[in-house]
Amino acid sequence: MTQEATEADVRAAVEAAEAAFGAAPFRPGDDAMRADLLDALADALAAERHALVALADAETHLGADRLYGELLRTVRQLEMCAELAREGAWLDPVIDTAIDAPPPYGRPDIRRINEALGPVAVFAASNFPFAFSVLGNDFASAFAVGCPVVLKTHPGHPETSAAVAKIAASILPEGALSVLYGTGYGANLHLVQARAIRAAGFTGSLGGGRALLSAIDQRADPIPFFGELGAVNPVVVCPEAANARGAALGQTLATGATMSMGQFCTNPGVILRPAGAAEFDDAFMSGIAKAPRHALLNERIDAGFAKGAETLKASPGVTMKDAMGHLVFSISAADFAASEIAREEVFGPATLLVSYEGEADLMAAVDALEGSLTASLHADPADDALADEIEPRLRRIAGRVLYAGVSPGVALTDAMVHGGPFPSSTRGDSSSVGALSLTRWTRPVAYQSCPARRLPPGLDDENARGLTRRVNGAVTRGPVSAHPAEQADDKGRMKTWRND
């Protein structure tokens, strides 16, 4: 059942997805049908939770606490995508009715709405056997907007994937979700190069992501690629904050850095704190030492971690302390700013502590940071002048800026951004969690001078579905007739433009 997918398997899966697209529940306006299916999937996952957690624990070592939490999150993601599909904000309908005047002040009737891209490819992650796997958020968000999904499972948890796929197959129509297995890269490349595949989502390594990106760029028509390829999730602890609450911050960040053995995409891998912040350092090291331990996800992760740690340890200016298997590296801000290696993610139980001596020293290190899913700024009001300098820099590199708490664990909300500049995402304008995750799988299509009988659902004059729309510039749930078009002020140009 979980056999290595062949090229023929890929072709059959893509053909099934393409055949499904265009028929129910994938037609424009079928949103409520898909929402009901997402709710049914959520209920079915919840019902099977004990068996699923046991399977996943055996395959990933993540432990029951974490896995029950992750499965509940996955259930909630499916339900949230159902709610979003029904509500329809992702459709973003915009209507501009005709204005009878010469261009650029006149216009025909133009209406636009976001439409599903078509069949999409999704690659599951090693570190989330539920939330970023078979019925994870990439599937849920793509299906919510009407894209059939061909999903490649992660080889780190094939049995868990198969059990979830079996649940999905009992509920979803043919072609809505095709699940492929295997460790090889050949099937992955065939999948992203299939003509009918219109976008791809991926969570994994920089190397794996770059390989898929190259394969996509070789297409006659390169498609959107939403890849999450790694992040160091830097944390800046300002001097006054370190002074006033160093012990508490050290404890909190140790908790964040050790969750699931550092195997979160949002793991805080680099912490910049003042040199000589003894209270912070003591609390951090003591928190690290006390944190629970378990095996890493699989042998490949083990090997990658060992290699990354070795490279980091050998970098100029780096020292290392082994706190019961969690490796804590130290480096000066100047050495950090000068070394590319020190800024690369080491996936697993490792933290790099960066010591800064003053503002210029800190700024040099901050300026050297690269795109990241999160950045954290722990600043007291007395740090505000310094924070004013740091904050614009963190905004430029991160998808989410935190001012308290820890970066692992994302909230399932409209406002969430789980993405950021490269390499944290290949599409820094997107999010793989929250309401924005749906929009990824759509594209705006405009309809010009379209007869009412041919308009897609959501662009009708009456607004039968009660969507929030922009009509002739007004945000409204009312009918088009309530918001007539007004011509822009031409400042008298139409009369005098040629002759003055």
Strands 442-448 and 110-116: antiparallel
Among residues 72, 244, 363, 364, which is the contact residue for a copy of itself, using CB under 8 A?
Answer: 72
Strands 120-123 and 149-152: parallel
**In the complex, least distance from residue 276 CB atom to a copy of itself, rounded to whole angstroms:** 26
**In the complex, least distance from residue 77 CB atom to a copy of itself, rounded to whole angstroms:** 8
Q: Is 265 annotated as catalytic?
A: yes
From 148-156, 296-304, 353-361, 442-450, span contacting a copy of itself (CB under 8 A): 442-450
Residue 49 binds to a copy of itself (criterion: CB under 8 A): yes
Residue 154 binds to a copy of itself (criterion: CB under 8 A): no
Residue 395 binds to a copy of itself (criterion: CB under 8 A): yes
**In the complex, least distance from residue 19 CB atom to a copy of itself, rounded to whole angstroms:** 14
**Using CB under 8 A, which residues numbered 16 to 45 contact a copy of itself?**
22
**In the complex, least distance from residue 394 CB atom to a copy of itself, rounded to whole angstroms:** 9
Task: Read off the tokens for 269.
Answer: 């891998």
Among residues 186, 444, 478, 484, which is the contact residue for a copy of itself, using CB under 8 A?
Answer: 444
Among residues 5, 20, 75, 309, which is the contact residue for a copy of itself, using CB under 8 A?
Answer: 75
Alpha carbon 120 to chain centroid, angstroms: 16
**In the complex, least distance from residue 173 CB atom to a copy of itself, rounded to whole angstroms:** 18
- HSE toward the beta carbon, residue 354, CA cutoff 13 A: 30
**Using CB under 8 A, which residues numbered 362 to 381 contact a copy of itself?**
370-371, 379, 381
Q: In this complex, which beta carbon is closest to a copy of itself, that of residue 139 or of residue 181?
A: 139
The residues pairing with 254 across neighbouring beta strands, listed in sequence order, are: none
**Using CB under 8 A, which residues numbered 453 to 492 contact a copy of itself?**
453-454, 456, 468, 470, 473, 475, 488, 491
From 3-11, 254-262, 353-361, 444-452, span contacting a copy of itself (CB under 8 A): 444-452
The angle, 0 to 180 degrees and rounded to 10, between the axes of the packed helices 137-145 and 31-47 is 150
Residue 426 binds to a copy of itself (criterion: CB under 8 A): yes
Catalytic hit among 18, 70, 79, 228: 228
Residue 333 near residue 236, CB atoms below 8 Å: no
Task: Read off the tokens for 265.
Answer: 């995409």
* Cα distances (Å, whole numbers) of residue 431 to 140, 142, 192, 417, 420: 13, 13, 20, 5, 8
**Using CB under 8 A, which residues numbered 231 to 290 contact a copy of itself?**
none
**In the complex, least distance from residue 88 CB atom to a copy of itself, rounded to whole angstroms:** 12
From 88-96, 244-252, 280-288, 350-358, span contacting a copy of itself (CB under 8 A): 88-96
Burial degree of 33 (CB within 10 A; 0-12, 13-18, 19+): middle
Q: In this complex, which beta carbon is closest to a copy of itself, that of residue 58 or of residue 445?
A: 445
Q: Which one, of 271, 286, 278, 285, lies nearest residue 353 by Cα? A: 271
Which three-class secondary structure state does DSSP give residue 70? helix
Residue 423 binds to a copy of itself (criterion: CB under 8 A): yes
Task: Read off the tokens for 52.
Answer: 């699923």
Q: Is 228 annotated as catalytic?
A: yes
Among residues 13, 20, 82, 112, which is the contact residue for a copy of itself, using CB under 8 A?
Answer: 112
Which three-class secondary structure state does DSSP give residue 429? coil
Instruction: Based on DSSP, count helices (H) and strands (E) in the chain, helices before strands.
Output: 16, 17
Q: In this complex, which beta carbon is closest to a copy of itself, that of residue 19 or of residue 450?
A: 450
Return the HEC string of 212-244: HHHHHHCCCCCCCEEEECCCCCCEEECHHHHHH
Residue 145 near residue 173, CB atoms below 8 Å: no
Catalytic hit among 265, 344, 345, 370: 265
Per-residue interface string for the shown chain with a copy of itself, residues 195-234, x marking contact by CB under 8 A: ---x--------------xx--x--xxxxx----------
**In the complex, least distance from residue 55 CB atom to a copy of itself, rounded to whole angstroms:** 16
* Cα distances (Å, whole numbers) of residue 236 to 181, 268, 353, 363, 440: 41, 10, 10, 11, 31
From 30-38, 182-190, 284-292, 411-419, span contacting a copy of itself (CB under 8 A): 411-419
Task: Read off the tokens for 114.
Answer: 């976001």
Among residues 244, 247, 248, 450, which is the contact residue for a copy of itself, using CB under 8 A?
Answer: 450
Neighbours of 104 (CB within 10 A): 10
Contacts with a copy of itself by CB under 8 A: the residue count is 94
Q: In this complex, which beta carbon is closest to a copy of itself, that of residue 113 or of residue 151?
A: 113
Which three-class secondary structure state does DSSP give residue 378? strand
Per-residue burial over 62-71, b if 16 or more Cβ lie within 10 Å, else e, is bbeebbbbbb
Among residues 32, 48, 63, 68, which is the contact residue for a copy of itself, using CB under 8 A?
Answer: 68
Which three-class secondary structure state does DSSP give residue 329? strand
Among residues 8, 322, 404, 486, which is the contact residue for a copy of itself, using CB under 8 A?
Answer: 404
**In the complex, least distance from residue 474 CB atom to a copy of itself, rounded to whole angstroms:** 10
Q: Which one, of 317, 249, 260, 321, lies nearest residue 287 by Cα? A: 249
Q: Which helix (H) or strand (E) holds 177?
A: strand 177-180
Residue 448 binds to a copy of itself (criterion: CB under 8 A): yes
Residue 436 binds to a copy of itself (criterion: CB under 8 A): yes
Catalytically annotated residues = 228, 265
